[in-house]
Structure 1
Amino acid sequence: MNKVKIKTKKMMCGHCQTAITTALSAMDGVSGMDISLADLEVTVTYDPEKTSSEEIRQTARKVTKIEDQEM
């Protein structure tokens, strides 16, 4: 399993958290995530044989503005 950390510029409410959780959870290969509204970041655990960090970032971009850092 790999992890990607996504720093967001905009994720300030429960609606934002729900939207990103729904979008990323629907992806094949995503096995978990930790969302911190206080730190404006999402850490996603995924199977690199089923998806990539770039696909995860692209999906997250559809929901909110992000900056990201690979872990």
Structure 2
Amino acid sequence: MAQIQLNVKGMDCGHCKTAVTNALEELDGVTSANVSVENGTADAEYDDSKVTFDQMKEAIEDQGYDVVA
């Protein structure tokens, strides 16, 4: 399993945390996601043979948030 920390902009409440967590965990290959609104981060554990950074980024952006490097 691989791990990644994504910097997510635009989160400011519990709904934001739930939306980003669900977006990541619904992807095939993501086994867990831990989102921190306070830090503006989303930590994910995933199988890099099943899911890519770009797929995770797109899933989060589809919820209305920005992923920055």
TM-score, length of structure 2 as denominator length: 0.87
CA distance in structure 2 between the aligned counterparts of 1:3 and 1:57, rounded to whole angstroms: 14
1:39-71 Cα distance to aligned partner (Å, 9 max, x none): 011011110111111111111111212213xxx
Q: Look up the match of 1:46.
A: 46
Tell me how far 1:4 sits from its aligned partner: 1.9
**Does residue 4 of the first structure (1) align with residue 4 of the second (2)?**
yes
The answer to whether the Cα contact below 8 Å between 1:10 and 1:66 also exists between their aligned partners in 2 is no
4+ long deviations beyond 3 Å: none
The higher relative CO (CA closer than 8 Å, separation ≥ 6) is in 1
CA distance in structure 1 between the aligned counterparts of 2:51 and 2:9, rounded to whole angstroms: 24
The percentage of aligned residue pairs carrying the same residue is 28
The answer to whether the Cα contact below 8 Å between 1:31 and 1:45 also exists between their aligned partners in 2 is yes
CA distance in structure 2 between the aligned counterparts of 1:9 and 1:20, rounded to whole angstroms: 11
Aligned length: 68
Q: Look up the match of 1:66.
A: 67
Query: What RMSD in Å do the two structures reach over aligned CA positions?
Result: 1.1
TM-score, length of structure 1 as denominator length: 0.85
Residue 12 of structure 1 aligns to a residue whose secondary structure is coil
